[in-house]
A = this chain, B = another copy of it.
Amino acid sequence: MTSEAFSIDPWGVVEHTLDLPGQAAAESVLTLSNGHIGMRGNLDEGEPHGMPGTYLNGVFELRPLPYAESGYGYPESGQSVINVTNGKIIRMLVDDEPFDVRYGQLRSHRRRLDFRDGLLRREAVWTSPAGRTVKVTSTRLVSLTQRAIAAIEYVVEAVDGPARLVLQSTLVANEQLPTAEADPRAAAMLEAPLVAEADIAVGTKAALVHSTRHSRLRVGAGMDHVIEAPEPYDVTAESSEDNARISVTLTLKPGERLRLVKFIAYGWSEVRSLPAVRDQVLAALTAARFTGWDGLVREQREYLAEFWEHSDIQVDGDVELQQAVRFALFHVLQASARSEERAIPAKGLTGTGYDGHSFWDTEAYVLPVLTYALPGAVNQALRWRHATLPSARERAAQLGLAGAVFPWRTIHGEECSSYWPAGTAAFHIGAGIAAAVVRYVRATGDREFDRTIGLELLVETARMWRSLGHHDPAGRFRIEGVTGPDEYSAIVDNNVFTNLMAQSNLRHAAEAATRYMQEATALGVDPEEAAAWRDAAAAMFIPYDERLGVHPQADGFTDHQFWDFAATPPENYPLLLHYPYFDLYRKQVVKQADLVLAMQVRGDAFTDEQKARNFAYYERITVRDSSLSACTQAVMAAEVGQLDLAYDYTAEAALMDLHDLGGNSREGLHVASLAGASIALVAGFGGLRDHDDALSFRPRLPSGLSRLAFALRVRDSLLTVEITHDTTTYEVRKGDPVPVVHDGERLLVEAGRPATRRTRRLEPVERCVQPPGREPTRRHTQGGHPPAAVDPLPAE
């Protein structure tokens, strides 16, 4: 898929033609999801497809993890997201010819995903091989208000003569999937994971209930229909183990229309019985039918209107970036809105990449955005982590550690990483969870959460750090044998990011234990334990290379050999597919921001001069083979005054999937990179930092943007920030006064009394150098990006 696949539109994504080789990536981009149900943007008729996909958050199958040479503590089984019963399919027969865009003539085909109403609209005019032309208009939604519900309005019109039509609206389980790819990042596909338990079909309604073979999860899918069509028409219902079908048969005269509304409901459970799951699905269907298509659409619009009011980011001067950041926010919302005590996977529910697993990305990239946009989703996501504490404690015990060790990758809470140097060893995930707790509590003031869920997460992660590290004879607290964010190093000593994050974790746990003494005591924390946390935090060893005046990413890093970038051809990126880990690990080459991320999240631990020197040093050796890197580099580039470079990185993070920059959007969207687009703008150009109680800003704009405005929820208030090259205006739209820091100046912003300050002008500094061929695309030198003609489908 190229950047030409979609035209630029500030409030939507428009696809003008059907690019079959690019379909898999387009399906990811056009996914509808509410965080509970995910439906890839497959065509209504099911085929052709890149990869059919319907996912339910938390529904996975177990598979054995093989080891040619096993080792103690290696996870024995993995968890893979599965393609559940497909409820999206509406097939059509036109005069005995199946509607299939690969045959006959596709006269026009347009799709538009609209960020304001959350609808995926499609309009196709197709002439069958026999010469009959029909116009199909379908509109799909996955409800943000009714968690178990999706719906499709499918309208077909005869264009050039009477058309004899059969519509088959189906539920299909155990769809055949394309074979897996060799790329280790592609998910292991699982064949026929569902075992049939029940099927019913009556009237316009049908349902299938299955269980997963090994993980024993019960999954129900149901559908009901409203049909509007000229009489006479016939409706039949049938079902078998893996199929349920409602067929509508009729003949349309030219100009006549058949309108079918399909309500789809899903339910699943680890524990509930077959009748319970079946009835749960049928009940959801009844409610949806009661709400009706128009009602569902109206609820969707209202939900999204509120979301945009509280979360929109406006970018003036670059309409492509404007589109991209809204696309990003929309998908971050879709991944998390209704996940409700389930994980937010790295790909959301847009594909099977990474097996549907959640990583540290959630807490490190997604939750920082949601904290100020949809704090309830943060609460839910952290409750999910909290619910997995039994697994995490068990894992810690297995590893000989105290407290809790959260899994590097998981769906259900158990560690699913089979390569521990880049999995289990990345203990920093624990500190990321702790930091997300602290940020959420600061932003919301949710003391009840703080006292219960938050406290326990802080305590158990602090315990882990205290047992993982040790004091050396010089009294320094060291954390050894771990892997930081950069996966081109592994099993290192005193990774600066890890040690700084652990330091915060230990401090915050000690503070929380003081704040909630009674609750902490109930968790077994005594004053000695809390003191040990404070002491370890105070003594935390942060390596520094005096000769170079930079922080080594970990002990000895700056002594290592530099990667030979000159001898690395462009096609050898990403490096991990072309060079052995052994070679990557021992050299100075960085997959993704690590020390630079430490400077963002623990900026208080570095001087301005160190930040500038460190940033320049790591820019030279960072290849951005991870989509998690560009946004962080954007933030720190902005902080050290390299605004144009920050702008380039921002665009890269935002366009990761719209332009398929990683070449793997077909497996699902890069949700953390999408969240990163927002981080790049708000923390980069807005300069937002939340180390302290008051949010602080250091606004600065690159020359390519004329205005940046964004909204943040802070406690019960809504704060907006509007930045131009001249001024920055803080305004409280509703709620209590909000303290902010503008470029070091403390302000208390009250509702109705916007505060305007001068936006600081920065002296231009020399642009840092990246490895040859790995420079971000320059946004300025592309000739000003004339916005492509915006030609959306009309909103209804």
Q: Which residues of A contact B (CB under 8 A)?
A: 65-73, 78, 184, 398-400, 417-421, 424-425, 470, 472-473, 478, 480-482, 490-491, 493, 547, 555-556, 559-561, 576-583, 585-587
Contacts and interface: CB of A to CB of B under 8 A. Distances in A.
Q: 3 closest A-B pairs (Cβ-Cβ)? A: A481-B586, A68-B418, A66-B66
Contact of A71 (B78, B419, B420, B470): B419
Given A69-B417, A421-B491, A491-B586, 12 more contacts: A68-B419, A69-B418, A71-B581, A72-B577, A73-B582, A399-B580, A399-B583, A400-B579, A420-B582, A480-B561, A480-B586, A481-B583
Given A425-B582, A582-B481, A576 B66 contact: no
Contacts of A491: 421, 490-491, 582, 585-586
A735 B564 CA distance: 55
Contacts of A417: 69
Nearest to A482: B586
A179 to B, nearest CB: 16
Given A68-B78, A478-B559, A424 B580 contact: yes
A585 B490 CA distance: 12
Given A560-B480, A585-B491, A586-B481, A72 B580 contact: yes
A586 B493 CA distance: 8
A398 B581 CA distance: 12
8 contacts: A399-B583, A400-B583, A420-B580, A478-B559, A481-B560, A491-B586, A493-B556, A555-B555
Given A65-B68, A418-B69, A480-B561, A400 B472 contact: no
Given A421-B421, A585-B491, A184 B71 contact: yes
B576 A72 contact: yes
Contact of A493 (B71, B559, B576): B559
A691 B420 CA distance: 41
Contacts of A65: 68
Contacts of A561: 470, 478, 480
A66 B78 CA distance: 14
Contacts of A582: 73, 399, 420, 424-425, 481, 491
Contacts of A70: 184
A184 B418 contact: no
A417 B582 CA distance: 14
A156 to B, nearest CB: 46
Nearest to A547: B473
Contacts of A73: 579-580, 582
A671 to B, nearest CB: 21
Contacts of A478: 559-561
A439 to B, nearest CB: 28
Contact of A67 (B68, B399, B556): B68
Contacts of A581: 71-72, 420
A556 B555 contact: yes
Contacts of A67: 66-68, 418
Nearest to A70: B184
A190 to B, nearest CB: 14
Nearest to A400: B583
Contacts of A69: 184, 417-419
A690 B418 CA distance: 45
Most buried by B among A71, A480, A482: A71
A578 B184 contact: no
A282 to B, nearest CB: 39
A472 B68 contact: no
A640 B70 CA distance: 38
Nearest to A541: B559
A458 to B, nearest CB: 23
Nearest to A74: B580
A411 to B, nearest CB: 15
Contacts of A184: 69-71
A65 B473 CA distance: 44
Contacts of A547: 473
Contacts of A493: 556, 559-560, 586
Contacts of A560: 478, 480-481, 493
A68 B66 contact: yes
Contacts of A480: 556, 559-561, 586-587
A418 B556 CA distance: 27
B559 A472 contact: yes
Contacts of A78: 68
B72 A578 contact: yes
Nearest to A63: B68
A728 B31 CA distance: 86
A143 B184 CA distance: 50
Contacts of A472: 559
B556 A481 contact: no
A71 B580 contact: yes
A655 B599 CA distance: 57
Contacts of A424: 580, 582
Most buried by B among A68, A473, A481, A583: A68
Most buried by B among A470, A478, A580: A580
Contact of A481 (B68, B425, B470, B585): B585
Contacts of A587: 480-481
Nearest to A561: B470
Nearest to A479: B586
A743 B193 CA distance: 74
A580 B396 CA distance: 11
A571 B561 CA distance: 42
A491 B586 CA distance: 8
